[in-house]
Structure 1
């Protein structure tokens, strides 16, 4: 079941920098000129909030022309062309067709979309925002004639009609409605997090049918962290150790705008989300998202006592010569960036002491980032000078297990050790095809 979820979720949070492209030819420019430019521009902003390029633009491909492959245990599927090309894209969609696909996961011809498209979240998008998004995709995106590819999934697994029953069971229709007793900022934040931001698609655990276990704060599992495509998407509740409990409102706003703060740095798919979605958010929307997330009560975590920093035992183990295998690897490869004290040089170089990703019970993210490194955070067009390098070609499975076990025990982190078999498994799944 988890393998299926990983495959279906692979393209949920990965983003590419193509949202606000200008029309590419005279015909598109003419059509744009005839449209309400204010509405088109608003739709462009909403498309950034929704991170629409995540699935619909392939690497080095044209904006929103599709073709991005997604691997699932059943076979490979290819995302679709959503440019306004009349033959191969959505140029023939009415606004009602567009709204149905966005919010109900049903294409114009009636076939069901795979729930890798986060339509259970987009179901909460209101009519005004749907109208603006439609205006953007019809008049603010260049049409690209690129035929959609059939999936590689073999019959009978490629039949989509069973998704009708999945929708009946798990799709909650209806736009977000403001909660009484909550202020404007809280409700705006809830609308963005639950709807266009579709944060739960990655950060909420899935059930046996791959459905999100909760779609809003009324469910105890909502945003409590989840394993997805070789990464553990962090706990976003107020949990003290592995969540946002120690983050101030300013910490969270800084992270959303820059991808790094005094507690942690973005990695994996979140790097692209920062690059192409959250850094473009208005200050008002960033504040609203922070207000909502900071209101969530603590859920999940490891049950450990509240983290407090203690460097002494770790400092002793790092004294030259380092006195265990993990400390020796850390001294050779990690200490120059993350420090003897584990504080790193935040926000440019992530701290390890008390980092929520280090404290998490699931070590997948730590293993993955050690093997494969991180992509560049690019803020206002300037790449981060110190991305995390990958060590897959430098360190073997046991060495990575040793150093991560050392880090998870160090500075009073108190997290479980990592085994070489865990590293080997993730190495195989993430290195395949490289």
Structure 2
């Protein structure tokens, strides 16, 4: 071999480890980005059960037709998605169609995931195929009776309600606004819980062009709150900093997370970058007021409530409040935010639908865990301690107190939620 050829061969041989190393670094970076995107999408919350393996599925979700169970999305080739090509993965995410061709129920938020761009979809696929441990766990069939368990009508559902278009930046909006819109509408799939659904279980709006978008909705015995600029039950009194604080820590001066939102904070939003959180806050605060009961804007007033608390024997709700609630939420109803949630002016208290307040009073809430440290004062469960009438009384008292002006709660409403949430 000529000296020049030998030198070239030697140089090429030396370069091979460098090229391979660069490729591995690129692959690792792609998987890492996919991991971040999976957290932004909170995939683990729905596709895992308590004390189960991550992404192995099995979580029960209640629908108007009956219970369905999330699927195994680990790369196990027999029970998971290990045999999915990237095209298969993309089709499931954007169109709700599994590799074998069967349609997924729209409890899987593919109408939102349809907005995810190609680069992010590629990173997600890389993560689920290379960054998730395979788990052999068979999927569980839905508890839905025939004929409602037939999936072929979902093809027509998709024809009517599914928009397959990837998110496109809105002209006239800045980079932060568009990034926030992309995350809220797409990966974050906030509308899946916070937008009311129609008779076909479709979200009534998929973006800010629809007046119903993010105005709140009932899901699995919780009311996902209004995220528009509505003054009383929405984010109208919140600043962008308040929204960001809530997404990062689950609590601020106005409210604390509970129910399904606890999982979102624990598994998703606290891990997101400050830039993405700021963009989401910017977008949410741009939404005009919509939904709610209307009426005068909330203004704090403690006079009447203070009188009833000084003579609790005259008010059944006040008696319960002084015995069980006042030490955390205060005589003035302002709590000790952000450690202990305020009740005065809290959007969840002012909301006309009281199902969340009933549920959290009966069943408490899971710990917020921020940076690995559980919140010190989680809401306890009072189902074993208080009767349905006592819970109705105290919630009626709270919803009327401090000028909240929200409707009363009946014992029948509490009985209904107790029955369907009993474990």
The normalised TM-score by structure 2 is 0.93
Counterpart residue number, 1:345: 336
Counterpart residue number, 1:154: 145
Higher RCO, 1 vs 2 (CA within 8 Å, ≥6 residues apart): 1
Counterpart residue number, 2:279: 288
Structure 2 residue matching 1:84: 3-state secondary structure: coil
Q: Is 1:196 equivalent to 2:194 in the alignment?
A: no
Q: Which among 47, 71, 75 is matched to residue 38 of structure 2?
A: 47
Task: Measure how far apart 1:63 and its partner are.
Answer: 1.4
Conserved? CA contact 1:111–1:160, under 8 Å: yes
Structure 1 residue matching 2:208: 3-state secondary structure: coil
Q: Which among 174, 180, 187 is matched to residue 183 of structure 1?
A: 174
Counterpart residue number, 1:237: 228
Q: Which among 144, 147, 157 is matched to residue 166 of structure 1?
A: 157
Structure 2 residue matching 1:195: 3-state secondary structure: helix
Structure 2 residue matching 1:318: 3-state secondary structure: helix
RMSD: 1.4
Gaps of 5+ in 2: 1-22
Counterpart residue number, 2:237: 246
Larger Rg: 2
Q: Is 1:117 equivalent to 2:126 in the alignment?
A: no
Counterpart residue number, 2:257: 266
Structure 2 residue matching 1:227: 3-state secondary structure: strand
Distance of 2:71 and 2:352 partners within structure 1? 36
Distance of 2:255 and 2:297 partners within structure 1? 17
Conserved? CA contact 2:48–2:58, under 8 Å: yes
Task: Measure how far apart 1:70 and its partner are.
Answer: 3.0
Encode CA deviations 1:233-285: one digit per residue, 9 max, x unaligned. Answer: 10000000100000011111100000000000001000010001000010000
**Aligned residue runs from structure 1 range 300-319, under 5 A:** 300-319=291-310
Conserved? CA contact 2:48–2:54, under 8 Å: yes
**Distance change in 2, residues 1:382/1:257 (3 Å):** same
Distance of 2:254 and 2:216 partners within structure 1? 17
Distance of 1:269 and 1:210 partners within structure 2? 19
> Which sits farther off after the overlay, 376-385 or 415-424?
415-424
Task: Measure how far apart 1:302 and its partner are.
Answer: 1.3
The normalised TM-score by structure 1 is 0.90
Q: Is 1:333 equivalent to 2:327 in the alignment?
A: no
**Distance change in 2, residues 1:75/1:231 (3 Å):** closer
Bigger share in helix: 2
Instruction: Tell me the number of residue pairs that the alignment of Structure 1 and Structure 2 aligns.
Output: 401
> Which sits farther off after the overlay, 229-238 or 74-83?
74-83
Encode CA deviations 1:87-133: one digit per residue, 9 max, x unaligned. Answer: 22111111111000001000111110010100000000000000000
